[in-house]
Structure formats: C-alpha cells, structure tokens
Amino acid sequence: MVTGQISLLTLGNIAAHPDFKAYSRRQLEYAIQEARIEPAGRAGIIRVFSEEQLPLILSAVRRTARVEFR
C-alpha cells in the first residue's frame, strides 16, 4: 500500500478542475505568473503544481481575472 502520495497537476489538469472551469488556461498562466507562484516541481519542461497550491492559484486567478457583470 502506497501512502503519502502527492498529486501533481499540470496547468491543463488545473484548468479542468471544477473550481477553475470559468477561467481559461491563459488566465491561469497569467495569474500564476503575476502572483509569482512557484511550481512544486517539473516533469521535463512542464511545470507541475501540488493540490495544496490550488487555493493560492484560485485566489490569484480571481484577483487577475476581468469578470464582466451584467
């Protein structure tokens, strides 16, 4: 039995997450860049983020997204 396994997510995985459906992948990239959120690691050239970083990323994307209310 494997325990203590960390789930790492790419930007595509994060964009598919239900909490992030309202935002484009580009908005996620921009928010992460602007908030200077460091990836948890890399898989080759791909940045990966931990599940623990999702609230931080969500907060950043909400701050940077331009939402139009009507």
> 49, 39 in Cβ contact below 8 A?
yes
- Global pTM reads 0.82
The proportion of the chain whose per-residue pLDDT surpasses 90, expressed as a percent, equals 79
Task: Provide the greatest CA pair distance for the chain.
Answer: 52
Q: What are 60-70's pLDDT values in tens digits?
A: 999 988 655 44
